[in-house]
Structures are given as C-alpha cells and as structure tokens.
C-alpha cells in the first residue's frame, strides 16, 4: 500500500510540474505472476471472471485464493448494499456520505477539492469492502435537458478533464479503483440503449474523449465503463476503435472495461471489441464465449488478454477482508467536511442587484422561505446515483441552524411535488401534495399561504428548480422550464414583496427568462450533498463569500442550444428502448419485445455541431445567453492587473506562464476563479472564437493584492489533425483572454506559437 501511495503521490507532483509519469504502468508490475496464474486456469475459470457473479461483483479465482471484484455505485457516494434487481438490503451500517453532485463539484473549479472528494468516497468504499467505484461520471454536458447533466461535470472538456483526473488520483490514493463512465459519448438518456451517435473524429477526440484521456493518462484510471449507446455504428461494449485502438492503444490503458449494466449485446462482437466484464448476466460472456472458443471462432488469447487485465486491477487493489468490511458506519466525519467544503465553493451567485445579498441583520429580521425545494431531499433518487445518507441538511434546516437567533424564519411549500417515471421514492409526501403534471398550475391554497408569508417578511427566499425525478438517469427532460407553476408563483410573490432572492435547486440549467424579471438576486444552489444546507446558509448570510462559477451555459432558451438549433435533438424515432428499465430489469418476453423495437428503428444522433458545444457555440454564433459559462459573482470586486507572459514565443513542450496581480477590493475574504481563454488570429484550422485552456482558484483576503501565475502547457493548444491521425500544433498568433467568466474578459495579450 505504501508503495502504491508513493506512486500516486509522484503522479500528483509530476502532473503539477508538467511532466507525465506513466501511471498505467503500475498496473503491469505483477504481469509475470499473473501470466503464471492464467497458465494454470481452465477456460471455464477464465470465462467465469468475465461476467457478473452478483449484481455488483464479478468472480475471482476461488481455487487459487483470488478474491472477487466488488463494485458499487456511484459518483457521489457509496451506494447502499443492493441485492439482485437493485433491491436495497437494508443494512444498518451502509449509510454513506452524500457528496454534492457532478455539476456542483465542477462549479468549484477546484482540482484540489475534486481530489479530496474522490479520496473521501474511496476511503468509504474501503470501509464497505468495495474494490471499484462506478464513477466518476465524466461525459460532456451536451444537452441542457440531459437526464444525467447533473451527474456529469461540464460542457467544457478542459474543466471536466482536470476535475476527472484529480477525482481519479484522489480515489485511487485511497486504494479504491475508479471506473470512468460512460465511455463514451453517452450524452443523452433518450434511447440511450440504442441510439447511434455519429461524431467526427476531431470533435470526438478534442471534446468528448478529452476527460477520459486525461483521467486515464494523467490520473491512471484503472477501469472504465463502456456506454450503452453506439458510437459511429458500434455499441460501446463492441467498439474496437474506442476500446482497443484509442483507450488501450493511444492512451496505454492497462486496466479493465466493464459493460454498463445490461449494455452487452453480443459474444463475438464484445470479445473482439475489447470488453472484459459483462454486467450483468452471462448470456454473452458465459457458455456462449466458451463455445465460440471451442468452435475455433475466437482465439483463447483474447480471453487471456482480458483476464490478465482483470487480474491486474485485482492485484493493484488490495481486497478488504470480510471480517473488516462493514463493521463501522460508512459515512466518515472527514468526508462530511469535504462535502461541506465542496458545497461552500460550488454555490454560484448569478445575479445580485442592489446588493440584496448577503442578508444583513440591519435590513432583514424576517425571512420567508418559500418553495418545497427548500425541504426536499436530494440524496436519494436519480436511479444509480442515489445515496443512502446518514443525514441531509436541507436549505431550510441550514438557514435555521446557522441563523443563531439573527433572523425569524417562516416556511411555505408554495407548489406541489412532481414525480415522473423514474428515480424517486415519494413515500414521505402526502398524495394530495403531488402534482399530476409537470406544468400543473399553482394550487390556490398553497399559493395563498406562500403569499401571506411573503407579505410578512423583509425578504423572500424562493426555492425553485427541479428534483431528482425530473432530472434523472433513464430520461431526459422535455424542456428546461421551471416546473409546477414556479414562474406564476414568483410573479405573484413579487406583487407582495419585491425583495426576492431566487435559489435554484437543480443539477442542470433552467429557463430563467420569467424568474429573472422578478428576482433582484439569483443563486444556483445545486444538489449539494449532506451539508448543502449549511453551505448555502453560510453564503446567504454572508459568513462566507460565494465563489462558484458555472460549469455550463444557461441558455436564454432551449432552442438556442446547438443540438436543438441544428435539429440534432430530439431525434424523431423514439423507440422507447431504455435498456435499464426495459431490458435489464425485465423478463425475457419483454426483453425480446424491446429488441424487436430496436431492430425496427434505432435512432441516430448526429453531432453535426461538431466542436461547437456549450459556450463554443454561443460565442461563435454571437448569440446572447442568460448566464455564460464561467459566470459567478462574489460579495467583493476583483481587480485584474496587467497580464504578463514569461515569453512572447512558445513551442511544443513549453509551459506558458501567465502572471498578473489580482486585488480583492472588498471588505471580506473571498475566492476568485481566474480563467484563461485563447482565441486564434488568422487560423488555417477551424476553431471556436474562444476556448478555456487554464484556470486557477485563488483565495484572497480583504483588500489584499496577490501575484497570480497561471500555467498553460502548450501541448493543450493542439488539435486533432484528421489527415495525419495525430495531434498537431498550429503555429501563429494567439490572443490570450484572461477574465472572471467567458463573457467577462479583463485582460488580453498576444503571443506567438511556433
């Protein structure tokens, strides 16, 4: 274990100094021993390792004392112990820390916090006896409506890659393997089990694969989950190009690839396509695989290669003894603190007209907390990503706990709860409080109560947004409208009290055009983990300054976003073939029906917007947005001094140093995320008008001025040259754009790339 930690530490240091150690090679240190083991194994024993044993484990080699591999969901905390069919076992000690969800983590723009976060989950996984955690989830947020946008990190590959890498380093330093998911281009839930993503190679490499590449190469990820969907005509589990050529070939991946649950579709295709473990079932990687080899259709060498990779992970991760696992509560104090730290740096202050925030005791005595999202739990639900948490501080509880007698707080739910098809256990809500449609008009009684509370108060905190049934694995949202009459409610509230702070509790963006009119202040509060309510209260009360920055764009309206504008989403041919709900959990008769539907018309998702995803699209189209990528205000102002570079000309291998003075001109300590974008002049290659290439979170005391240095390795400026099939650097003039958000550039400089 010590040696392992040292290797990981060396990895972290080298990433920091720009040199890349070969983190994958540590997986091969036992290859000699592993080859001897494989030589002793029967074909049946080998194939036994290549499919599920239980819903969350795959077999070791019992005869040789090699332990099973134990997996657990998910990206935001160790999922409770489940039996087949994902039925909770109801164990007393499997309450795990619920960490802020993906987009919240990304809003911190903090690789250090991503490391702590991965580490915290990794430590808790060990307590549960788990070897492989099914996370991080790192697909690019292509669609504002995406059911898993909240699980994923960002619309920007550089931000997602940096956080994914550090999450990986942190988790694996705890002795738990990550499983990067979902490889790759799993950017929609609609027909996720059948959709065929058609994407050009440059876009694929630069945008969609970048987080995976960095987490494998710079983070040393030991396992990867193949996505449900097809990519350029082949399922993720059968994708020779993605799995064998790119992941294993170009990136040197030495670990294992597991299918998403129910995502294997063939024996020969998956064996040749590079899959190691079928999850779940053995209909492809069981007797049929043995037969294919015995019939001479497949070489046993392929099975040996795949088993070697499984054993590499098994040897790199020390099994937890059954006597030790699950003897203490999974959730640990240190992780709970990390969850708080992340939440406190993720909250984004979108708007603050007239300095309504922070709430000041001089102006505010009575606060009306309006909206059911102030009390809704966000830990459970969302299917695989739900966490059984030991506690969860809701926004209302956070405000009450942290008030310390400063404020009088009332609460009114204002709107009903809405639960869709997936992902939520509505047991605690009374049936009459459940809306029958997502766009149901406000209930007169609930609205009247809310207005009465608002009228009495000095300020209204309106908690709006979605929930984990509206944004969930298994389906995409139909639109990004605020649900259950929230727009009408905020309008009515504004008539009785104009001091409205709207707090959006959601994982993805919402349409804020109406809300914005009635809210002098708006905060993006996320689904922020078990300490989320405390972090939010600390910010609203001004005990700490907000410092989160948007990891995705809030478009003005959904139709502006690239996949919609170009008619690429939604696809017309909805075959309703969700693999999780229909095929994976169903009886055979239903599964066969599903397969027939798939054959009848698998939808195709054309990514014709190419690299113009998120702000790359809006900027290049010169299209206004509601809130730009990277946006986030503070309670202080930051003054950016003159930008300097260490040289004027750079070549491949150099690391550009961009320096400037940053001043906090306010009267409280605060943190700023400085962002460095680049724009190409006279380019011969096609580029978006600007791209994020480096960033840094800087803590800065009241009135202090700090010298800040941001590093940009020149290799990050390369593009994927389709002609040569390799990365290439385009020479020429580069404009550096340094600022506080993608639409708030404060300093510019020119450099030359040779």
Residues with catalytic annotation? 260
CB of 486 to ligand BGC, least distance (A): 29
**249 to 268, contacts with ligand BGC by CB under 6 A?**
260-261
Q: What separation in angstroms does the CA of 482 have from each of 152, 289, 501?
A: 21, 49, 16
CB of 217 to ligand BGC, least distance (A): 23
Structure tokens at 442: 């406000």
CB of 388 to ligand BGC, least distance (A): 14
Distance, CA of 593 to CA of 577 (rounded, Å): 10
Q: Can you tell me which of 315, 580, 640, 695 binds ligand BGC, judged by CB under 6 A?
A: 580
Chain centroid to Cα 450, Å, comes to: 34
CB of 61 to ligand BGC, least distance (A): 24
Nearer to ligand BGC, 189 or 560 (CB): 189
Eight-state DSSP code of residue 142: -
Nearer to ligand BGC, 99 or 564 (CB): 99
Structure tokens at 655: 């690391």
Helices assigned H by DSSP within 250-357 = 268-272, 287-294, 300-316, 333-346
Q: Is 578 in the site for ligand BGC (CB under 6 A)?
A: no
Nearer to ligand BGC, 79 or 306 (CB): 79
Nearer to ligand BGC, 116 or 260 (CB): 260
Q: Is 73 in the site for ligand BGC (CB under 6 A)?
A: yes
CB of 291 to ligand BGC, least distance (A): 28
CB of 666 to ligand BGC, least distance (A): 42
Classify strands 177-183 and 223-226 as parallel, antiparallel or unpaired. parallel
Assign 231 to helix, strand or coil: strand
Nearer to ligand BGC, 222 or 349 (CB): 222
Q: How far apart are the first and last CA of the chain?
A: 44
Q: Can you tell me which of 12, 23, 132, 134 binds ligand BGC, judged by CB under 6 A?
A: 134
Nearer to ligand BGC, 452 or 586 (CB): 586
CB of 690 to ligand BGC, least distance (A): 32
Distance, CA of 729 to CA of 717 (rounded, Å): 7
Assign 404 to helix, strand or coil: coil
Helices assigned H by DSSP within 375-458 = 395-403, 444-456
Torsion of CA 146, 149, 152, 156, to 10 degrees: 90
Nearer to ligand BGC, 260 or 516 (CB): 260
Distance, CA of 199 to CA of 744 (rounded, Å): 31
Nearer to ligand BGC, 260 or 691 (CB): 260
Residue 393's closest CA among 289, 532, 298?
532
CA torsion through residues 230, 231, 237, 239, sign: positive
Torsion of CA 172, 176, 177, 182, to 10 degrees: -100
Structure tokens at 161: 């890659």
Cis ω for the linkage preceding 358 (within 30 of 0): yes
Nearer to ligand BGC, 23 or 134 (CB): 134
Structure tokens at 354: 């007239």
Nearer to ligand BGC, 76 or 261 (CB): 261
CB of 162 to ligand BGC, least distance (A): 22
Classify strands 196-198 and 177-183 as parallel, antiparallel or unpaired. unpaired
Nearer to ligand BGC, 121 or 751 (CB): 121
Residue 621's closest CA among 682, 556, 695?
556
Please give the size of the binding site for ligand BGC, defined by CB under 6 A.
9
Q: What separation in angstroms does the CA of 492 have from each of 159, 450, 488, 517, 726?
A: 39, 9, 6, 12, 58
Structure tokens at 192: 């996720």
Nearer to ligand BGC, 60 or 384 (CB): 384
Residue nearest to ligand BGC (CB): 384
Q: Is 423 in the site for ligand BGC (CB under 6 A)?
A: no
Structure tokens at 379: 């830990």
CB of 52 to ligand BGC, least distance (A): 11
**168 to 187, contacts with ligand BGC by CB under 6 A?**
181
Q: Which residues have a Cβ under 8 Å from the Cβ of 636 and sit 6 or more positions away?
A: 545, 664, 665, 666, 667, 668, 670, 702
Nearer to ligand BGC, 79 or 254 (CB): 79
Does residue 725 contact residue 661 with C-beta atoms inside 8 Å? no
Does residue 285 contact residue 263 with C-beta atoms inside 8 Å? no
**448 to 487, contacts with ligand BGC by CB under 6 A?**
473
CB of 260 to ligand BGC, least distance (A): 5
CB of 146 to ligand BGC, least distance (A): 13
The string of DSSP letters for 647-695 reads: -SEE-TT-EEEEEEEEEE-SSS-EEEEEEEEEEESS-SS---S-EEEEE
CB of 474 to ligand BGC, least distance (A): 8
Q: Can you tell me which of 147, 170, 381, 384 binds ligand BGC, judged by CB under 6 A?
A: 384
Q: What separation in angstroms does the CA of 458 have from each of 361, 497, 533?
A: 11, 8, 21
CB neighbourhood size of 328 (10 A): 11
Q: What separation in angstroms does the CA of 292 have from each of 43, 110, 281?
A: 12, 48, 17
CB of 74 to ligand BGC, least distance (A): 6
Helices assigned H by DSSP within 17-135 = 31-40, 43-48, 102-107, 111-127
Does residue 485 contact residue 414 with C-beta atoms inside 8 Å? no
Residues in contact with ligand BGC by CB under 6 A are 73-74, 134, 181, 260-261, 384, 473, 580
């Amino acid at each position: 274990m010590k040696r392992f930690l040292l290797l990981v530490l060396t990895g972290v240091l080298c990433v920091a100094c720009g040199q890349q150690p070969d983190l994958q090679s540590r997986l091969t240190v036992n290859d000699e021993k592993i080859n001897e083991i494989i030589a002793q194994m029967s074909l049946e024993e080998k194939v036994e390792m290549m499919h599920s044993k239980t819903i969350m484990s795959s077999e070791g080699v019992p005869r040789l004392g090699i332990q099973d591999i134990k997996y657990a969901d998910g990206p935001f905390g160790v999922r409770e112990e489940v039996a087949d069919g994902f039925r909770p076992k109801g164990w007393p000690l499997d309450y795990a820390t619920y960490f802020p969800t993906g987009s919240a983590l990304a809003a911190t723009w903090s690789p250090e916090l991503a490391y702590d976060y991965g580490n915290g989950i990794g430590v808790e996984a060990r307590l549960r006896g788990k070897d492989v955690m099914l996370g991080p989830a790192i697909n690019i947020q292509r669609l504002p409506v995406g059911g898993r946008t909240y699980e994923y990190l960002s619309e920007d590959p550089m931000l997602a890659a940096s956080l994914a890498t550090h999450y990986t380093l942190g988790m694996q330093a705890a002795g738990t393997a990550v499983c990067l998911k979902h490889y790759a281009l799993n950017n929609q839930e609609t027909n996720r089990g059948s959709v065929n993503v058609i994407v050009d190679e440059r876009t694929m490499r630069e945008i969609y694969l970048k987080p995976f590449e960095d987490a494998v190469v710079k983070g040393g990820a030991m396992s990867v989950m193949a996505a449900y969907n097809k990519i350029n005509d082949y399922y993720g589990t059968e994708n020779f190009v993605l799995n064998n050529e790119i992941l294993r070939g170009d990136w040197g991946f030495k670990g294992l690839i597991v299918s998403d649950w129910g995502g294997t579709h063939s024996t020969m295709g998956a064996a040749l396509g590079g899959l190691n473990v079928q999850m779940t079932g053995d209909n492809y990687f069981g007797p049929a695989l043995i037969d294919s080899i015995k019939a001479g259709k497949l070489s046993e060498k392929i099975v040996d290669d795949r088993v070697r990779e499984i054993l590499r992970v098994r040897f790199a991760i020390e099994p937890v003894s059954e006597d030790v696992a699950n003897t203490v509560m999974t959730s640990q104090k240190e992780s709970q603190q990390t969850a708080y730290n992340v939440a406190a740096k993720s909250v984004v202050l979108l708007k603050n007209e007239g300095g309504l925030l922070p709430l000041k005791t001089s102006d505010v005595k009575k606060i009306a907390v309006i909206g059911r999202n102030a009390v809704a739990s966000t830990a459970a639900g969302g299917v695989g990503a739900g966490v059984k948490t030991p506690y969860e501080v809701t926004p209302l509880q956070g405000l009450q706990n942290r008030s310390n007698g400063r404020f009088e707080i009332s609460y009114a739910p204002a709107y009903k709860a809405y639960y869709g098809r997936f992902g939520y256990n509505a047991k605690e809500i009374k049936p009459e409080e459940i809306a029958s449609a997502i766009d149901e008009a406000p209930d007169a009684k609930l609205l009247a109560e809310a207005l009465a509370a608002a009228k009495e108060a000095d300020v209204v905190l309106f908690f709006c947004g979605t929930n984990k049934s509206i944004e969930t694995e298994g389906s995409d949202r139909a639109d990004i409208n605020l649900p259950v009459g929230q727009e009408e409610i905020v309008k009515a509230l504004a008539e009785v009290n104009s001091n409205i702070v709207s707090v959006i509790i959601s994982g993805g963006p919402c349409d804020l055009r109406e809300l914005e009119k009635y809210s002098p202040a708006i905060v993006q509060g996320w689904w922020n983990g078990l300490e989320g309510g405390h972090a939010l209260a600390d910010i609203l009360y001004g005990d700490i300054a907000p410092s989160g920055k948007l990891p995705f764009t809030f478009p003005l309206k959904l139709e502006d976003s690239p996949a919609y504008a170009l008619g690429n989403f939604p696809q017309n041919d909805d075959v309703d073939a969700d693999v999780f709900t229909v095929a994976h959990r169903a009886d055979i008769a239903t599964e066969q029906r599903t397969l027939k539907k798939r054959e009848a018309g698998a939808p195709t998702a054309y990514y014709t917007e190419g690299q113009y995803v998120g702000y790359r699209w809006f900027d290049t189209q010169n299209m206004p947005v509601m809130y730009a990528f990277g946006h986030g205000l503070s309670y202080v102002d930051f003054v950016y001094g003159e930008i300097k570079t260490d040289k004027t000309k750079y070549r491949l291998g150099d690391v550009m140093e961009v320096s400037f003075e940053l001043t906090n001109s306010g009267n409280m300590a605060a943190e700023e995320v400085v962002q460095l974008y680049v724009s190409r002049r006279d380019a011969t290659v096609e580029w978006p008008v600007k791209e994020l290439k480096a960033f840094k979170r800087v803590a800065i005391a009241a009135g202090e001025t700090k010298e800040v240095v941001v590093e940009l390795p020149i290799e990050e400026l390369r593009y994927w040259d389709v002609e040569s099939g390799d990365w290439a650097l385009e020479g020429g003039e580069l404009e550096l754009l340094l600022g506080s958000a993608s639409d708030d550039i404060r300093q510019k400089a020119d450099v030359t790339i040779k």
